[in-house]
Amino acid sequence: MYRKPDGSKGRFRHDAEVQTRAAAVAEERRRFAALASTGSPFEVVDPIAREQVASPSKGPTFADVVDKYKAAFLPTLKAATQYGYRIVIDGRLLRRFGKLPIDEVDACAVRAFDVELVGDQLRPSSRRTVLTILRSILCRFAVEAKYLAKAPDLPKLPKKSKRCVPALSRLQVDGLLEAGSAEAKLAFALAAFAGLRAGEIRALCWRDVDLERGEIVVRFAHCRGVTDKPKSGDDRVIPIARQLQALLVARGARPAGELVAMTRYGKRWGQYGLRDAFSRVARRAGVEGFHFHSLRHFFITELFEKGVGAPTVQELAGHAHLETTALYAHTRKGSARDAIERLSGPASPSEEPIAAE
């Protein structure tokens, strides 16, 4: 608020050209100086000072860069990965940084954003995922596309949290197979005894099942309407376990292009069909606290407990990195005690308790 030369009241409002407190204070001082010398805050008294404070170019915003990122980079990812990236970008990153110039998304801004993620009670692994996608935009794409001269020096990513997820027992898996329909039973067996992911089950055709040689070749995964390479990007060959062999043989001869696992209506399982079917069967079988992916988890855990080496488990599971395989290498309740008892072996004579006289 100010007084005009004729004595009437005036009001001046103007956004600082750089959105910081220092810039706002400098802008206010220039306007008061202009008012004192010219009678109007609209006059520019010291353009040289303005040049020193003002940003020479605001440049593209974070949202502008993300638009290019979505068009140029996301199509190179698998359908499931694209979906996850879009959820994070649209739901969190654009909402937080969208209007900000790309060169102002610095370490300070990212650290404040991470504090917000902690306030939203995101697990360290979820925070790591969000911040990794942000790094992909800032440190990789924006630099390669020349939106930034160099990658910003961002804070370190949160450490990966180690969670011990309970594994299904063989008794529980047998109960699930017994309680499920013929269609669900085959799909569940492909996950429990061959380690296939849900998307790989949806894409598996009979041409990739060789009952004579006893092998399944996993070539594709079907996710959100798109058939693509498996998550690791490579084909893998899985010997057929006896439990699964019997179910596959029972289906009889099938056309090579027909899907192996289908619903009772002869259709491909939907995106959430296997998840929902597992929930229904688990309730009937009295198996609580698990989900469809737990069947694949059972497959990997069983291999470890049977003494299979980690590189072989990695190959059968289709993990791109051995580090991922290691996440499954936990033990069931009681296994640790059994292992220590085996290590200890039988008690030596010197360790025998002395009988009381």
CA-nearest of 210, 257, 212 to 238 is 210
Q: Is the pLDDT of residue 195 over 80?
A: yes
Encode burial over 300-309: b for 16+ CB neighbours within 10 A, e otherwise: bbbbbeeeee
Q: How confident is the model at residue 27 (pLDDT cuts 50, 70, 90)?
A: confident
Q: Is the pLDDT of residue 357 over 50?
A: no
Range from 39-43, 60-64, 178-182, 226-230 carrying the lowest mean pLDDT: 39-43
What is the model's pLDDT at position 26?
74
Q: How far is CA 40 from CA 10, 12, 30, 255, in A?
A: 9, 9, 11, 85
Packed helices 170-179 and 273-285: angle between N→C axes, nearest 10 degrees: 100
Say which residue the tokens 């949160």 belong to: 158
Range from 155-164, 258-267, 316-325 carrying the lowest mean pLDDT: 155-164
CATH 1.10.760.10 assigned to 170-336: no
Q: How confident is the model at residue 336 (pLDDT cuts 50, 70, 90)?
A: low
In residues, how long is the chain? 357
Range from 128-132, 188-192, 327-331 carrying the lowest mean pLDDT: 327-331
What is the model's pLDDT at position 12?
73
Q: How confident is the model at residue 53 (pLDDT cuts 50, 70, 90)?
A: very low
Q: Is the pLDDT of residue 272 over 60?
A: yes
Cα separation, 231 vs 214, in Å, equals: 23
Instruction: Calculate mean pLDDT across residues 65-89.
Output: 93
Instruction: Calculate mean pLDDT across residues 118-131.
Output: 92
Q: Is the pLDDT of residue 150 over 80?
A: yes
Range from 26-40, 219-233, 269-283 carrying the lowest mean pLDDT: 26-40
Predicted TM-score of the model (pTM): 0.70
Cα separation, 321 vs 282, in Å, equals: 31
- CATH number for 62-144 (one of 3.10.450, 3.40.50, 1.10.150, 1.10.760): it is 1.10.150
Which residue has better confidence, 163 or 152?
152
Q: Please, what is the average pLDDT of the chain?
A: 85
Instruction: Calculate mean pLDDT across residues 78-82.
Output: 87
Cα separation, 100 vs 95, in Å, equals: 10
Q: How confident is the model at residue 340 (pLDDT cuts 50, 70, 90)?
A: low
What is the model's pLDDT at position 34?
74
Domain ranges of the chain: 2-53, 62-144, 170-336
pLDDT in tens, 283-329: 999 999 999 999 999 999 999 988 899 899 999 999 988 888 887 77
Cα separation, 71 vs 77, in Å, equals: 12
Contacts of 322 (CB under 8 A, 6+ apart): 310, 311, 314
Cα separation, 27 vs 342, in Å, equals: 77
CB atoms near residue 33 (< 10 Å): 15
What is the model's pLDDT at position 55?
45
Cα separation, 326 vs 190, in Å, equals: 22
Q: Is the pLDDT of residue 224 over 80?
A: yes
DSSP 196-218: --HHHHHH-BGGGEETTTTEEEE
CB atoms near residue 95 (< 10 Å): 9
**Termini Cα distance of the chain:** 102
What is the model's pLDDT at position 54?
46
Instruction: Calculate mean pLDDT across residues 20-48.
Output: 70
